[in-house]
Structure 1
Amino acid sequence: MEEVNIGLLTIKVMVGFVTLFFIVIVTGKTSIYQLTPFHFVFVLLLGDLLSNTIYENRIGILPFFYTVGLWTILMLGVEFITLKKKSTRSLLVGNPSIIIRNGVIDREIAKKNKLDVNQILSLLRQSNVFSVREVQYGVLEANGQISTLLKSKYQKPEKQDLNLPQMPVDLPTTLIIDGEILWDNLHELGFDQQWLDNKLTANGYDNEKGIFHADWRENEGIHISPK
């Protein structure tokens, strides 16, 4: 059995980690739902490349650097080209396609994108749509997801439709996580520990240690989840 060079292995793992981290930061692809088919294939091949070379002692540091670096440059080059040249986006990234019109699936678009009915229905359910009949327009995005515009009778009513008064919307601020006070958030709200202690006491808590999560919303007050 071939002996593993720990030093070489460590360097390769670190290079692979930094490369993947760098790609995520530069491209901004922090979620799998943001990946186009091109990005997905690139990441798969890069992962395969790393796994095949990391444990191979015969591949030294310089060839490893060269291979990973070249692959990364190619990917970022394509990313740059698709941003600057509109004509290349269709080929390399893909374009959105209207796959549903007025509750009817476009078979040609589905066939072109290698989708069957079950796959389309599954994608709709992921968007909380459980019947094609509800969809006025369904757009197949470049990342494979379907964005939907529902028919008017299936859309949820808005406040203006019900003549309800408009209420201000406040963003909740987290004050405690796992028994630890987030002081920056507390001070940003203009409150101090005495104010927080009073709120905790009013809700039956001696201190923050028994609290898993607590947040504050101006028009609703404090909300506490115990440990």
Structure 2
Amino acid sequence: MLVVFIRTIILYTIVIVAMRIMGKRQIGELQPFELAVAIMISDLASVPMQNTGIPLLHGIIPILTMLAIQISISFITLKSKKVRDIICGKPSVLISAGKINEDVFQKELYTLNDLLEQLRTKDIYNIADVEFAILESNGQLSVVPKASKRSVTPEDLNINAKYEAPATELIIDGELIKENLKRLDYDRSTLEYELKKMGINSIKDVLFASIDCQGKLFCQAKERK
């Protein structure tokens, strides 16, 4: 039993490292060859994990081989557009200038029901509101609504919008994120002073704290039990 436990930990660690090296992508964003490699790696790991009669190296070596193949293909596709088009495929225009391209649907084995379903996930319930719809190589649908159906932007109203950047986390669950504090050139004593103004005496009592690009501090204290 101990042998199975140790083998499982080793294989799990290798699979996690391999998937991490492959890059940060969600399942729906993987290219076909990346999805195939991910499935094969998980299958290769499960065999020696279940059968202790199979040497551990017989599972590790194929996993590392698949990882090397995936990295090689990714590197090649970065350097060559032709290879990238062959391996990953090209985006397909399903709707162009408001017109449905029937031949593209047949080529991609894609149905109108598939299109309508993906449009609904983007809060578009009328195909007549779509100017362009593009099926990306990873299966995701990109949609450009018609001009009359797009959301109004500050530019449309001739409003000069202020610059906005993502807020920076300073404290998460009582832990101070020192690198963010240093990057913002924000003094710890200043932070603690602002927290005391909010009635919080210690950083450990903070559930979450962040500061936006305008210098406004947001803070929520932990609930006292």
TM-score by length of 2: 0.81
Secondary structure at the aligned position of 1:157 is classed as coil
Give 1:53's aligned residue.
Answer: 48
Give 2:89's aligned residue.
Answer: 94
CA distance in 1, matches of 2:202, 2:112: 55
1:14 and 2:7 correspond: no
Give 2:137's aligned residue.
Answer: 142
C-alpha deviations, 1:68-123, integer Å up to 9, x for none? 33333333343344344433333321110001223343333223323323322232
Secondary structure at the aligned position of 1:100 is classed as strand
Note closer, same or farther for the CA distance 1:104–1:204 as it changes in structure 2 (3 Å cut): farther
CA distance in 1, matches of 2:49, 2:133: 44
Q: Say if 1:127 and 1:147, in contact at 8 Å, map to a contact too.
A: no
Q: CA deviation at 1:143?
A: 0.7
Q: CA deviation at 1:181?
A: 2.5
Note closer, same or farther for the CA distance 1:107–1:24 as it changes in structure 2 (3 Å cut): farther
Q: Say if 1:12 and 1:64, in contact at 8 Å, map to a contact too.
A: no
**Structure 1 residues 165-180: aligned runs within 5 Å:** 165-180=160-175
Q: Say if 2:44 and 2:59, in contact at 8 Å, map to a contact too.
A: no
Give 1:78's aligned residue.
Answer: 73
TM-score by length of 1: 0.80
User: Unaligned 5+ residue runs, structure 2?
Assistant: none
CA distance in 1, matches of 2:66, 2:183: 45
CA distance in 2, matches of 1:66, 1:221: 52
Q: CA deviation at 1:19?
A: 4.8
Sequence identity percentage = 26
User: Unaligned 5+ residue runs, structure 1?
Assistant: none
What is the letter of the counterpart of residue 6 of structure 1?
Answer: V
The answer to which of 212-221 and 81-90 deviates more is: 81-90
| Aligned equivalent of 2:206, options 207, 211, 219 | 211
CA distance in 2, matches of 1:207, 1:19: 40
CA distance in 1, matches of 2:206, 2:28: 34
Root-mean-square deviation (CA, aligned residues, Å) is: 2.8
What is the letter of the counterpart of residue 6 of structure 2?
Answer: T
CA distance in 1, matches of 2:187, 2:80: 53
Q: Say if 1:12 and 1:54, in contact at 8 Å, map to a contact too.
A: yes
Q: CA deviation at 1:144?
A: 0.4
Q: Say if 2:45 and 2:60, in contact at 8 Å, map to a contact too.
A: no
Q: CA deviation at 1:171?
A: 3.8
| Aligned equivalent of 2:154, options 139, 159, 167 | 159
Aligned residues: 222
CA distance in 2, matches of 1:43, 1:225: 40
Note closer, same or farther for the CA distance 1:158–1:66 as it changes in structure 2 (3 Å cut): same
Q: CA deviation at 1:12?
A: 6.5
